[in-house]
A and B are shown apart, each in its own frame.
Chain A
Amino acid sequence: MHRATLRELSAKLASREVSSVEMTRHFLDRIAGEGAALNAFITIDEAKSLAQAKAADARIARGQAGPLTGIPVAHKDLFCAKDWLTTAGSKILGNFVSPYDSHVIAQFDRAGAVLLGKANMDEFAMGSSNENSHFGPVKNPWDLAAVPGGSSGGSAAAVAARLAPAATGTDTGGSIRQPASFTGVCGLRPTYGRVSRHGIVAFASSLDQAGALGKTAEDLAILLGTMAGYDERDSTCIDRPVDDYAAMLSGGVKGLRVGVPREYFTKDLAQDVAAPIRAAIDELAKLGAKVVEVSLPNQHLSVAAYYVIAPAEASSNLSRYDGVRYGYRAPEYADLNDMYRKTRAQGFGPEVKRRVLIGTYVLSHGYYDAYYVQAQKIRRLIANDFIAAFRDCDLIVGPAAPSVAFDLGSKATDPVQMYLDDLYTIPINLAGLPGLSIPCGFGNKGRPVGLQVVGNYFDEARMLRAAHAFQQATDWHTRVPKGFE
């Protein structure tokens, strides 16, 4: 059952082959059993999940089921869920029981999905390895010595190990696509503004976007259809009709112009990743796509611009953690200012502190123009590169990450090296474009490789159609790590 796609699970529920309570029980048992070594979850609440499953079974019995009714879904612990602990992977929110639902959680509730648990993540979504969680690192199910990627590392590991049929994530600089690539699952970051950010613990507001991780492009289509749509509580959410993504999957890639940026295959890309990516592009060509060369000449500046803009917005967003209204407060302090300083020093981990300090610096008097305004101008150049490229192609394809998953601890002491690894994902966030990663092979040590597919604004349906066509012709997405079959 745990290897079934969302559509197959829905069919099992509809035919009464299995109840939602039984299905939820099955995944909870996997989380506590073979999944325990992965540390993929921060909070599990069996009673709450099973109560939701029972309600879903009643809804199915009434004949009012939708495609996700009764199906358990894991949520990154960045999504506020009413009466659930919502920690953002941080000690400072370690006791925060959310008094309200995020828009995304409410959408899954309306669909009748079951909240399976809150997935582990890098603290405040800052990280690319899931080693920055206050609740300990997540292990990669393909190799317990490897990181699962981050920051949505718990979500990715849970789907890869078939501990959850699907999961939500957020992607500010690659936090859905890179862990999807590292764990051999499918992950979609939609266009900025497609999904409401209401109730998602904020990191960098002009870059954050919620998305989904699943086993197939079809799963992603079903999940996005549930999550997307207008919500007036997010002032950046776009009021625009939502495509019927699941109904638009067929049609193939014949005649589709697939752009390959000439800047992608450089010395920065590991050979064991380059080979499966080239093979995947050849496969798309074999299926009828027209492969064209495009150029993104300013892409090499994206990491620099990102590490000004993201920390600047983070330092502003995280100023709310002051020990006054919710979350952790230091036990001892001399006065109000000392309470703030000690609460934040004790509540934030090292990576969050680094980013808060960099952000404070680049926004401070005398440095704002040289850093923040210059980064915003470079952001424009990077976005303009994509706009120009999309005149010559319909989709852009390439790697999601420059290497396969690295070993736990191997980059933890050098934050800069880890930042540079996000070179293929960050430009998409700066431009506000949608991107997805699908498994397309294996590299060194049998670790997965993901193909990134980038679309034009609000062109998720076309991206999913191409990914679906690839998956109809290949079977990389069906591979399951040993020990989790």
Chain B
Amino acid sequence: MLSLEQIARIADLARLEVTPREAAALQQQLNGILAIVDQMGSVDTSGVEPMSHPQQAMQRMRDDRVTEADERDSFQSIAPAVEDGLYLVPKVIE
């Protein structure tokens, strides 16, 4: 069972602001989801290889060369805040 403190910590890790009122509702909902998930605990999976991917294909390698065109202007035209080709964020270092 997740405590309210755990929910606050997870929300912090997920960079998601959660108000105390939301946290109380989330606690109930997330614990409901984990109750389904906890069915897995009783299954003996010793010796089973984890399946991370449906196909057994290896990750492909490609040549180390530039294949993308420069689309900076197009991509930055939809950014919330840019200046001189740079993305603007609040000041991080005083």
Contact = CB atoms under 8 A, between A and B. Distances in A.
Interface string A345-376: 10010000110111011101000001101111
Interface string A404-442: 000000000011100110000000001111000000000
A132 to B, nearest CB: 14
Contacts of B51: 376-377, 379-380, 383
B85 interface: no
A90 B35 CA distance: 28
A336 interface: yes
Interface string B28-71: 01101111111111010100111111110101101000000001
A249 interface: no
A354 B14 CA distance: 11
Given A99-B78, A357-B10, A304 B16 contact: no
Most chain B CB atoms below 10 A, which of A371, A377, A419: A377
Interface stretch (A10-18, A19-27, A140-148, A324-332): A324-332
Given A97-B78, A236-B55, A380 B49 contact: yes
A308 interface: yes
A304 B36 contact: yes
A339 B16 CA distance: 10
Contacts, number: 166
Interface band, chain B: 35 or more
Contacts of A206: 52-54
B71 A360 contact: no
Contacts of A353: 16, 18, 26
B2 A370 contact: no
Chain B interface, >50% SS class: loop
A336 B48 contact: no
A454 interface: no
A307 B36 contact: yes
A336 B40 contact: no
Contact of B75 (A319, A325, A378): A325
Given A232-B62, A308-B40, A322-B15, A361 B2 contact: yes
A268 to B, nearest CB: 14
Contacts of A329: 80-81
A374 B79 contact: no
B45 A324 contact: no
A235 interface: yes
A308 to B, nearest CB: 6
A192 B14 CA distance: 28
A348 B71 contact: no
B16 A336 contact: no
B48 A381 contact: yes
B20 interface: no
A193 interface: yes
A309 to B, nearest CB: 9
A135 B2 CA distance: 32
Given A192-B55, A324-B80, A339 B71 contact: no
A357 B90 contact: no
Most chain A CB atoms below 10 A, which of B40, B49, B71: B40
Interface string B1-32: 01000110011011111100000001001101
A303 B36 contact: yes
Contact of B49 (A337, A360, A377): A377
Contacts of B50: 373, 376-377, 379-380
A319 B15 CA distance: 8
A354 B49 contact: no
A369 B8 CA distance: 22
B75 A301 contact: no
Given A339-B90, A381-B48, A236 B15 contact: no
A336 B89 contact: yes
B89 A377 contact: no
Contacts of A481: none
A84 B48 CA distance: 45
15 contacts: A236-B53, A325-B75, A348-B16, A354-B33, A358-B34, A360-B14, A362-B37, A374-B41, A376-B50, A377-B48, A377-B49, A380-B49, A381-B43, A416-B36, A430-B54
10 tightest A-B contacts by CB? A432-B54, A376-B50, A377-B45, A345-B17, A329-B80, A380-B51, A341-B17, A340-B15, A377-B48, A192-B54
